[in-house]
């Protein structure tokens, strides 16, 4: 029997309109029709009454780490791949229950994200639709190269390699093991030991060598990049998306707009760091770098908006105090920094779907699309803070939540 959702307010993400008193007809796991409620007599069908709620596509988080738990300690050194996999599965499920029906996992220990993705796709476990990078690829001394004592070499959440040939080999290895995309650590970071979070770590030639391999496989790529030089090198090398982007000059912004490079700003990690900057739980050098980056980050984000850069939504969930299932602060921060509310909603739906190469499946509510649907009490299109009032989650036509999360 077909299912029908009666929607009081409906944002399909096909455009920026919010329509009143609409019906979404679902056949199995696919949307059959979106139409006014009064077009048909639905009395003989299975109807879910969302007439008092705001309905929209399932949310998409384009930047998170399922196997990171948001704690600030170093207990990850004692964990096995099995520990990370179980932890990652539970976090992915928390993300789905928070309305994120699709996620992009951009770096993990081993290939545990791919194991979780495949188990979800087989139906062995439940969870969100996942696009996975496997381990990130970085250079000696970069963010994936954990600073053990001299003589002990090993990466964390990534592969350490140097030079174009090593990058090609790493790219081929990651793709061989089932990654959908490649993740590069183009610069240092807020949480890394480097005093300059924008210091370039991968060269143009290194990134271009690996991106060529991704392009041959039809895979996308993402670059963790805070500094102008690293961002510019990644964009020139053909990167699909720039993550974080704290420091960038006007030339780089123009280049991103010209090439169609996506930008995932991830405001919320630094917000959490600064919220806890004085309680002694986060290293002072991390707090200092976060504080220095914030003002530049906001200004460059506004320049990207004006330049027409394609901006998606990602939360970097798993970073300090940034817990899975609790990452919606990013919506509010993006709006506060100058993005119109409807554009924020689009960033988390149709824009991210295109970035993840899922735009023919999810990100909009239209005939032929998968039935990934969320509903909220209140109206996020009028007040973005109502994004916290999630009360309904459907993925693939199956309801996972029909009660308030708040």
340-355 pLDDT per residue, tens: 999 999 999 999 999 9
Q: Which parts of 226-266 fold into alpha helices (H)? A: 228-237, 250-259
The pLDDT of residue 1: 74
227-285 pLDDT per residue, tens: 999 999 999 999 999 999 999 999 999 999 999 999 999 999 999 999 998 999 998 99
What average pLDDT does range 287-293 have in this prediction?
92
Burial 6-21 (b: 16+ CB within 10 A, else e): bbbbbbbbbeeebbee
The pLDDT of residue 370: 98
Q: How many CB atoms lie within 10 A of CB 242?
A: 27
The pLDDT of residue 48: 98
Domains of the chain, earliest start first: 3-58+363-401 (2.30.40.10), 59-355 (3.20.20.140)
pTM: 0.97
CA distance to 32, 97, 370, 391, per residue, from 26 (Å): 5, 20, 9, 19
What average pLDDT does range 73-85 have in this prediction?
80
Q: Which pLDDT band, with edges at 50, 70 and 90, does 43 fall under?
A: confident
Burial class (CB in 10 A: 0-12, 13-18, 19+), 39: exposed
Q: Positive or negative, the Cα torsion across 137, 142, 144, 145?
A: positive
Please give the structure tokens belonging to residue 220. 């996308």
The pLDDT of residue 155: 59
Q: Positive or negative, the Cα torsion across 257, 261, 267, 273?
A: negative
Whether 129 has a pLDDT exceeding 80, the answer reads: yes
Considering only residues 78 and 9, tell me which one the structure prediction assigns the higher pLDDT: 9
Q: Average model confidence (pLDDT) for the chain?
A: 95
The pLDDT of residue 148: 59
165-217 pLDDT per residue, tens: 999 999 999 999 999 999 999 999 988 777 788 899 999 999 999 999 999 99
91-112 pLDDT per residue, tens: 999 999 999 999 999 999 999 9
Whether 90 has a pLDDT exceeding 70, the answer reads: yes
359-374 pLDDT per residue, tens: 999 999 999 999 999 9
- DSSP, collapsed to helix, strand or coil, labels residue 88 as helix
What average pLDDT does range 79-94 have in this prediction?
95
Q: Which pLDDT band, with edges at 50, 70 and 90, does 19 fall under?
A: very high
The pLDDT of residue 401: 98
Whether 156 has a pLDDT exceeding 80, the answer reads: no
Q: Which pLDDT band, with edges at 50, 70 and 90, does 63 fall under?
A: very high
The pLDDT of residue 121: 98
Considering only residues 142 and 15, tell me which one the structure prediction assigns the higher pLDDT: 15
């Amino acid at each position: 029997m077909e299912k029908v959702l009666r929607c009081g307010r409906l944002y399909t993400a096909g455009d920026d309109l919010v329509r009143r008193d609409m019906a979404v007809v679902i056949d199995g796991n696919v949307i059959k029709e979106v139409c006014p409620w009064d077009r048909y007599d639905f009395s003989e069908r299975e109807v879910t009454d969302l007439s008092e709620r705001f309905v929209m596509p399932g949310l998409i988080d384009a930047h998170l780490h399922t196997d990171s738990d948001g704690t600030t300690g170093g207990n990850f050194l004692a964990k096995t791949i099995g520990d990370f996999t179980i932890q990652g599965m539970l976090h992915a499920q928390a993300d789905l229950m928070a309305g994120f029906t699709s996620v992009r996992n951009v770096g993990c220990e081993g290939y545990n994200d791919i194991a979780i993705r495949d188990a979800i796709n087989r139906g062995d476990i439940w969870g969100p639709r996942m696009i996975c990078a496997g381990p990130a690829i970085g250079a000696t001394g970069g963010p994936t190269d954990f600073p053990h004592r001299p003589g002990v070499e090993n990466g964390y959440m990534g592969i350490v390699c140097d030079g174009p040939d090593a990058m090609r080999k790493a790219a081929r290895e990651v793709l061989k093991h089932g990654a959908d995309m490649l993740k590069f650590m183009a610069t240092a970071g807020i949480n890394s030991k480097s005093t300059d979070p924008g210091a370039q770590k991968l060269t143009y030639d290194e990134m271009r060598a690996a991106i060529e391999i991704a392009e041959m496989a039809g895979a996308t790529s993402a670059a963790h990049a805070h500094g102008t030089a690293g961002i510019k090198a990644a964009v020139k090398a053909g990167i699909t998306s720039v993550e974080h982007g704290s420091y960038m000059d006007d030339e780089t912004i123009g280049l991103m707009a010209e090439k169609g490079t996506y930008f995932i700003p991830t405001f919320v990690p630094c917000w959490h760091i600064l919220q806890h900057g004085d309680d002694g739980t986060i290293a002072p050098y991390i707090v200092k770098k976060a504080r220095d980056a914030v003002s530049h980050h906001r200004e460059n984000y506004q320049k990207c908006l004006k330049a027409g850069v394609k901006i998606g939504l990602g939360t970097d969930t798993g970073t300090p105090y940034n817990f899975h299932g609790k990452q919606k602060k990013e919506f509010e921060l993006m709006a506060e920094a100058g993005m119109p509310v409807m554009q924020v909603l689009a960033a988390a739906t149709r824009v991210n779907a295109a970035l993840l190469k899922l735009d023919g499946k999810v990100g909009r509510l239209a005939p032929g699309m998968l039935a990934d649907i969320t509903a909220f009490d209140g109206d996020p299109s009028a007040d973005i803070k109502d994004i916290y009032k999630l009360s309904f989650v459907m993925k693939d036509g199956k309801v996972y939540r029909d009660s308030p999360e708040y």
